[in-house]
């Protein structure tokens, strides 16, 4: 483990930039990791043959079988004999809840809660996983959270050359759901954070709009000004919230992916056309594939 490696990498990028290199550290706005649950691609109890044998069952039937005390006892015994990698990480597994918590402390981990109540962490996790009719999810931070604090993320975001980004959900849509980071920037970093300093609204908006537009050469957007592309969101900041991620099955051949809904978007406007109104899609699809850089508009 190298919890301070990010500082070294930022220093390297700064020195490279001083020599004229176009180097921009990409920073995720929250802990980057996996989601675990009964419907996800990976499960802490996956090493159990009994658990694996139940996987093909419909969710409701599987939950009913998993609630059987004898099946529970058998699965826990099989996992104890051949534990998965997650058995060494109960102190870094967190029940997400709704609204989801993306900056939990150790005291909120499966290990800490189980120990405080005199329970075995594996058994406690097993029971929690059956909540919400088997749809409960658990966050396992892999990157950006070695100290169980988001303070390093905040420092990284304020690096002068940093760009907000990084997401791997497209490749791992059965265990990762990071498409909500932009909403999280507003709900958590701007409005709700309680475990450290927040960030100004203006800074968050800049990091998500004009900064990436300029970096990627999309010079016709990213600001609200005459002649620029009419892309904007009208947001109820006080009412903005994230719901818990949910698994949906709408990919080819019944494939699954995570979906996470947000509430509080009064309107989304793309190229001057309203595509979302009061959190509901209007059906308008004015967006087009971008195949290269875009020039800034001529003076109006």
What is the DSSP secondary-structure string of 239-262?
T-EEPPPEEEEEEGGGEEEEE--E
Phi and psi, residue 122, nearest 5°: -65, -45
In sequence order, which ranges of 37-189 are alpha helices (DSSP H)? 49-54, 59-66, 69-81, 110-116, 121-129, 131-134, 151-157, 181-184
Q: Please state, in angstroms and rounded to a whole number, the distance separating the CA atoms of residues 19 and 211.
A: 21
Structure confidence by residue, pLDDT tens digits, 180-215:
999 999 999 999 999 999 999 999 999 999 999 999
For the ranges 63-67, 98-102, 291-295, the maximum mean pLDDT occurs at 63-67
The pLDDT score that the predictor gives to residue 298 is: 79
Residue pair 132/146 in contact (Cβ under 8 Å)? The answer is no
Does the pLDDT value for residue 1 go beyond 70?
no
Q: Coil, strand or helix: which one is 10?
A: helix
* 30, 190, 196, 208 from 182: Cα distances, Å: 10, 11, 19, 7
C-alpha angle with apex 10: 7 to 15, nearest 5 degrees?
125
User: How many Å apart are CA 190 and CA 157, to the nearest integer?
Assistant: 13
Within a domain: 168? yes
Look at residue 188 and tell me if it is in a domain: yes
Count Cα neighbours of 56 within 13 Å in the Cβ-side half-sphere.
Answer: 2
Give how many domains the chain has, as a whole number.
Answer: 1
pLDDT band at 2 (very low <50, low <70, confident <90, very high): confident
Does the residue 270 lie in any domain?
no
| CB-based contact 140:5 (threshold 8 Å) | no
Q: Is the dihedral of CA 129, 135, 136, 142 positive or negative?
A: positive
149: in domain:
yes
Query: What pLDDT is stored for residue 221 in this prediction?
Result: 94
Q: pLDDT at position 170, please? A: 72
3 state DSSP class of 74? helix
Q: Answer yes or no: is pLDDT of 273 > 60.
A: yes
**Considering the domain boundaries, does residue 272 fall inside one?**
no
Q: What percentage of the chain carries pLDDT values higher than 90?
A: 92
Quick one: pLDDT at residue 216? Answer: 93
**Would you state the pLDDT for residue 299?**
60
Cα–Cα nearest to 175, from 266, 22, 43: 43
pLDDT digits (tens, 9 = 90+) for 4-33: 999 999 999 999 999 999 999 999 999 989
Q: Provide mean pLDDT across the span 256-273.
A: 96
Nearest Cα to 272, choosing from 293, 287, 291? 287
Domain membership of residue 238 (yes or no) is no
Establish if 49 belongs to a structural domain.
Answer: yes
Residue 169: per-residue pLDDT? 57
Q: What is the pLDDT of residue 210?
A: 95
In a domain, 100, yes or no: yes
Looking at every residue in the chain, the average pLDDT score rounds to 95
What does the alpha-carbon distance between residue 223 and residue 230 come to, in Å, rounded to a whole number? 9
Domain around 146: 4-13+28-224
Q: What is the pLDDT of residues 95-139, one digit of tens each?
A: 999 999 999 999 999 999 999 999 999 999 999 999 999 999 999
Q: pLDDT (tens digit, 9 = 90+) per residue, 39-54?
A: 999 999 999 999 999 9
pTM: 0.93
Among the listed residues 27, 21, 22, the one whose alpha carbon sits nearest the alpha carbon of residue 7? 27
């Amino acid at each position: 483990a190298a919890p301070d490696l990010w500082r070294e990498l930022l220093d390297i990028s700064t020195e490279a930039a001083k020599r004229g290199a176009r180097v921009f550290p990409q920073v995720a706005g929250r802990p980057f990791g996996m989601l675990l649950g009964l419907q996800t691609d990976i499960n802490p109890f996956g090493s159990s043959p009994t658990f694996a044998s139940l996987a093909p069952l419909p969710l409701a039937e599987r939950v009913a079988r998993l609630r059987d005390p004898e099946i529970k006892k058998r699965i826990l015994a099989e996992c104890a004999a051949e534990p998965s990698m997650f058995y060494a990480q109960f102190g870094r597994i967190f029940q997400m809840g709704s609204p989801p918590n993306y900056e939990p402390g150790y005291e909120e981990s499966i290990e800490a809660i189980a120990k405080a109540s005199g329970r075995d962490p594996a058994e406690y996790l097993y029971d929690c996983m059956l909540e919400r009719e088997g749809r409960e999810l658990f966050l396992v931070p892999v990157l950006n959270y070695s100290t169980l604090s988001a303070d390093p993320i905040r420092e990284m975001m304020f690096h002068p050359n940093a760009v907000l980004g990084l997401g791997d959900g497209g490749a791992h849509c059965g265990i990762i759901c990071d498409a909500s980071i932009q909403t999280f920037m507003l709900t958590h970093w701007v409005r709700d954070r309680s475990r450290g300093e927040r960030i100004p609204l203006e800074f968050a908006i800049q990091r998500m709009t004009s900064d990436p537009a300029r970096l990627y050469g999309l010079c016709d957007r990213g600001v609200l000004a005459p002649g620029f592309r009419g892309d904007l969101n009208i947001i109820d900041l006080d009412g903005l919230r994230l719901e818990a991620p949910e698994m949906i099955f709408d990919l080819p051949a019944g494939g699954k992916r995570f979906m996470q809904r947000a509430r509080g978007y009064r309107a989304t406007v793309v190229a001057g056309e309203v595509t979302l109104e009061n959190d509901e899609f209007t059906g308008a699809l004015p967006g087009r594939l971008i195949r290269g850089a875009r020039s800034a508009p001529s003076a109006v």
